[in-house]
Structure 1
Amino acid sequence: MGLDEAEAFLRQHTALSAATIVPEIPLYLATEITPIWQATEAWLHETGIEPPFWAFAWPGSQALARIVLDRPELVAGKRVLDFAAGCGLAAIACAMAGAASVEAAEIDALAIAATRLNAAENGVIVTAETRDVVGDACRWDLILCGDVCYEAPMTGHILPWLRAMVRSGAEVWVADPGRAYLPREGMTVIERMMVPTTLELEDTRERPVTVFRLGAEA
């Protein structure tokens, strides 16, 4: 999959719009999950692929982006990682808010293509590469995690590493809209807000999102 091909696919199957609570940042997004999912499987000549999470602005990333844009002093001059970045919304907000550098981590190549396309649309620089950064040594001041505790295997994979990042000196924020596998210990509330959602992804039109600061120990 070439970058030019991926960007052409994204432009064809999404539309330029914006997340409800982050109107400042235009993004290439889908409005329905089934058509973009089917189109992705057909284009990749694969079946049973993961849902196209990159085609939507999830509640956690919206909340992170809103905080960053409203309080840019929290990220200005910092080295930031948007972990499991999806469409790159939080990463783009950090770049707009004056972060020294912004990386976006994703294991889905189309998510990386979406992040690059969306960053270019907003005129900001985000370093985005397709790989699993879990296990890397800490090179960031701030790590943002939007809506990552939706499955037990995922949470078990990332949480020890994220706590290790805190022990190495990074600040880690976890934005969660009430997922079942969110850790209950070692979490400090930064902010709470209501975030509009879509019934394409959720069972409600609005979710309460809490942004936590992760502690080094449970």
Structure 2
Amino acid sequence: MTFKFLITAAAVSMLALPASAATTLFSDRASFIAAVGANFVDTYETALGYPPSPQVLGDAAMSAVVGQTRYETTGILGNNLLLGIAGGTAYCSGCQGSFTLHFDQTDFGTGGVYGVALDLVANAFRPFSSLITFGDGSTQLLLLGNGGTPGITSDKLIRSIAFGVEGKPTTDGFFAIDNLTIASAAAVPEPATWAMMIMGFGLVGVSMRRGRRVMG
């Protein structure tokens, strides 16, 4: 599903508190995907088991559809709204209240995920922000713009993201997301693999030098 107005040149504005070297912010999906390993994209479409929109689900029912994110409504309780937009479906609890996404029951582990990205479909009337809680208990507040695909990776793991006004619950505003993406860290070659690669490069170099001497 594609939202045309969502991927225009007007990039999302993200203002953050100073982040540690282990945390990286992204403003486009391609850069985020290039920086992570295995990932899962929740499109909120019927192909993944969601009921046709419009539909309102309770927290437990919403969390159980794909079983990769635990949803907690914090504004209007139990109001997980699946909203049809441009022939597709978006998640719009924020249409009528704030919510928190918990990443403690994913295929990538129970302590959190390395990376999270999402498409901002709308953020209006009273702009929402996101309060990120990491695996070590520290937090980071991000102010979200309108549209775009913000993403974040962290070696501290991302345990939850609370969407609201300055990270606090609210029943005001209009906030919707799509293509929620969670990811693991990219695989790092084992020391033995690095050694074999370096040895291989060395053999190639020796072969090239010998070839030049023969030709000379």
What TM-score results when the alignment is normalised by the length of structure 2? Answer: 0.29
* Higher relative contact order, chain-length normalized (CA < 8 Å, sep 6+): 2
Name which one, 1 or 2, has greater alpha-carbon Rg.
2
Higher percent of residues as helix: 1
Higher percent of residues as strand: 2
What TM-score results when the alignment is normalised by the length of structure 1? Answer: 0.29
